[in-house]
C-alpha cells in the first residue's frame, strides 16, 4: 500500500492542476476591488500608496515618517516642538476628548494638522462647534447608484489660483459643513453642489485643516486624469518651513471602534481568501491532499519479518576441497607433513610437551599424559621420523597414518 501512496498524490495534484487550468481559461469579468483601505502600502484602488509616496516630492526639504500611536503617545512627533505636520486620512475620524485636546495643543505649539475623513466623532464636533456645524449624512458601506456615487471636488479661489473642479467615477464618500463662523473659519474647497468640504482653522501658532472627502487621496482618484494636481494644491497650504511630515495610521485601526466595519471585513480573513475562486480551489486541494496523506499514514504498520536461513557448515566442504586438491596432485608426502605438523601442534598445546626430539622419553611422557596405548603413540612417532627419509608415500601409507591420528584424537 505504501508504494501506491506517491501515485495517488501525483494523480490528485495532476487532476487539480487540470481543473484549475480549464476553469482559469474561462472568460471572467474583471471586478473592481472595492475595499476601503487607506493604507499607505496598499496599491488597490482605495489605498493611499500614491499619496504617501508623493509626499517626498511635495515636501523635498522635510523628512517623512509614519505614526501608529495615539495623540500624546506619538513616536515620531514632539508635542513641544514646532514646524511639524501631521496628516490623518481615514474614512472615519474617531478621537476621544483627550486625544482631540492633544491634537489642538499640538497645533497651538506651531504645527499643522491635516485631517481628511467623511465622518467625525461627537467629540470632534463638540470641540469644533465654535467655528463650524458639521453634517454627518453618509453611509460608508451601503452601495450607491452609479450616478450618485461619484466624487466631485473643487478648490476655492482664493486662496488657490483657480477654482478648478476634479472628479472621478469611484466611490464618493464625502460630507459637508452645514454652517461656519467665517470670522474664524476659512473655506478652502467645496463638493459636488458647492457645499463646503474643506476648511482652515487657526489655533495658537499653528493651523488645523479639516477635509471631508478622503476619497480624493485614494489611488483611484489621484491616478484619474490630472487629479494629482488637486492633491498637491490641497497640501500646499501646509507651511513650507515644515521639517517633519508624519503620516498617521492610528485612526485607520481605531475607525472600527464604532462598529462600522463592512460586511466583507466583518466575516474574517478566511472568507476573504475564499472570495478568489483559483485560490479557493488551490487551498481546498492542498487541504484534501494533506488530509488524505495523514489518514493513510495513520494506519498501523507491521515491519516485514526477514527470512532467516539455517547456517551452513562449511568446514566439511573446506576439508573435502583441500583433500581433493592434494589427492588430485598425488603429493601424499606433503599432505603427511601437514598432518604431522598439526599433530605436533596439538601435543604442544594440549600436553605442554616439547616436540623437538621425539625419543623414548617423549613417547613415555605423552603416553602418561594422554592415556593412549604406548604402541599407538610409538607407531605415529616412528612414521613421522621415517617419513623424512622416505622417497614417497603411498596411498596405503597415507590412509594408515590418517587412521592412526584419528584414533589418537578420539581417545584424548
pLDDT at 182: 82
- Looking at the chain, how many residues does it have? 412
Under-50 pLDDT residues of the chain: 25, 27, 258-266
Beta strands in 263-322 (DSSP E): none
Q: Which phi and psi angles does 206 have, rounded to 5°?
A: -115, -170
Looking at residue 336, its pLDDT comes to: 86
pLDDT at 259: 47
* Placement of cell 481543473 in the chain: 19
- What dotted CATH number matches 49-261? 3.40.50
User: By the 8 A CB rule, do 42 and 223 touch?
Assistant: no
Statement: the pTM of the whole predicted model exceeds 0.85? no
Query: How confident is the model at residue 338, as a pLDDT?
Result: 85
342-356 pLDDT per residue, tens: 899 999 999 988 888
Supply the pLDDT for residue 265.
47
Distance CA 404, CA 41 (A): 105
Looking at residue 122, its pLDDT comes to 85
User: What are the sequence ranges of the domains in the chain?
Assistant: 1-31+267-300, 49-261, 314-411
Residue 266 pLDDT: 47
The whole-number pLDDT of residue 214 equals 94
Residue-wise burial string across 32-69, b where 16 or more C-beta atoms lie within 10 A, e elsewhere: eeebbbbebebebbbbbbbbbebbeebbeebebeebee
- pLDDT on residue 215: 94
pLDDT of 219 reads: 95
Q: Which tens digit of pLDDT belongs to each residue from 213-240?
A: 999 999 999 999 899 999 999 999 999 8
Contact 113, 208 (CB under 8 A): yes
Tens of pLDDT, residue by residue over 238-288, are 998 999 999 999 998 876 554 444 444 445 566 666 667 777 888 888 888
Distance separating alpha carbons of residues 174 and 383, to the nearest angstrom: 129
Question: Smallest Cα–Cα separation from 244: which of 62, 69, 55?
Answer: 62
Amino acid at each position: 500500500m505504501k508504494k501506491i501512496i506517491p501515485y495517488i498524490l501525483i494523480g490528485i495534484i495532476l487532476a487539480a492542476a487540470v481543473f484549475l487550468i480549464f476553469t482559469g481559461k474561462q472568460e471572467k469579468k474583471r471586478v473592481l476591488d472595492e475595499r476601503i483601505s487607506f493604507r499607505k502600502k496598499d496599491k488597490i484602488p482605495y489605498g493611499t500608496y500614491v499619496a504617501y509616496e508623493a509626499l517626498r516630492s511635495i515636501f523635498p526639504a522635510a523628512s517623512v515618517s509614519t505614526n501608529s500611536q495615539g495623540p500624546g503617545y506619538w513616536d515620531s512627533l514632539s508635542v513641544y516642538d514646532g514646524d511639524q505636520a501631521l496628516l490623518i486620512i481615514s474614512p472615519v475620524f474617531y478621537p476621544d476628548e483627550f486625544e482631540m485636546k492633544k491634537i489642538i495643543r499640538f497645533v497651538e505649539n506651531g504645527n499643522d494638522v491635516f485631517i481628511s475623513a467623511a465622518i467625525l466623532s461627537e467629540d470632534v464636533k463638540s470641540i469644533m462647534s465654535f467655528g463650524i456645524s458639521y453634517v454627518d449624512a453618509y453611509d460608508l458601506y451601503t452601495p450607491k447608484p452609479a450616478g450618485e456615487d461619484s466624487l466631485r471636488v473643487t478648490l476655492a479661489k482664493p486662496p488657490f489660483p483657480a477654482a478648478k473642479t476634479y472628479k472621478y467615477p469611484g466611490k464618493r464618500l464625502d460630507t459637508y459643513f452645514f454652517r461656519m463662523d467665517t470670522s474664524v473659519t476659512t473655506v478652502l474647497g467645496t463638493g459636488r453642489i458647492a457645499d463646503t468640504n474643506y476648511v482652515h482653522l487657526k489655533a495658537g501658532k499653528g493651523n488645523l485643516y479639516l477635509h471631508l472627502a478622503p476619497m480624493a487621496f485614494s489611488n483611484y482618484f489621484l491616478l484619474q486624469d490630472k487629479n494629482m494636481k488637486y492633491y498637491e494644491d490641497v497640501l500646499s497650504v501646509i507651511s513650507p518651513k515644515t521639517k517633519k511630515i508624519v503620516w498617521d495610521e492610528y485612526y485607520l485601526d481605531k475607525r472600527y471602534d464604532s462598529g462600522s466595519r463592512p460586511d466583507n471585513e466583518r466575516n474574517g480573513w478566511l472568507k476573504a481568501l475564499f472570495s478568489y475562486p483559483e485560490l479557493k480551489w488551490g487551498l481546498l486541494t492542498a487541504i484534501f491532499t494533506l488530509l488524505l496523506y495523514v489518514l493513510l499514514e495513520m494506519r498501523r504498520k507491521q515491519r516485514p519479518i526477514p527470512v532467516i536461513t539455517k547456517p551452513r557448515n562449511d568446514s566439511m566442504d573446506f576439508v573435502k576441497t583441500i583433500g581433493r586438491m592434494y589427492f588430485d596432485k598425488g603429493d601424499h608426502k606433503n599432505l603427511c607433513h601437514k598432518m604431522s605438523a598439526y599433530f605436533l601442534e596439538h601435543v604442544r598445546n594440549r600436553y605442554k610437551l616439547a616436540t623437538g626430539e621425539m625419543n623414548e622419553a617423549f613417547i613415555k611422557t605423552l603416553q602418561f599424559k594422554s592415556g593412549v596405548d604406548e604402541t599407538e603413540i610409538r607407531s605415529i612417532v616412528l612414521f613421522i621420523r621415517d617419513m623424512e627419509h622416505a622417497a614417497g608415500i603411498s596411498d596405503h601409507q597415507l590412509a594408515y597414518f590418517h587412521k592412526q591420528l584419528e584414533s589418537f584424537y578420539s581417545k584424548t
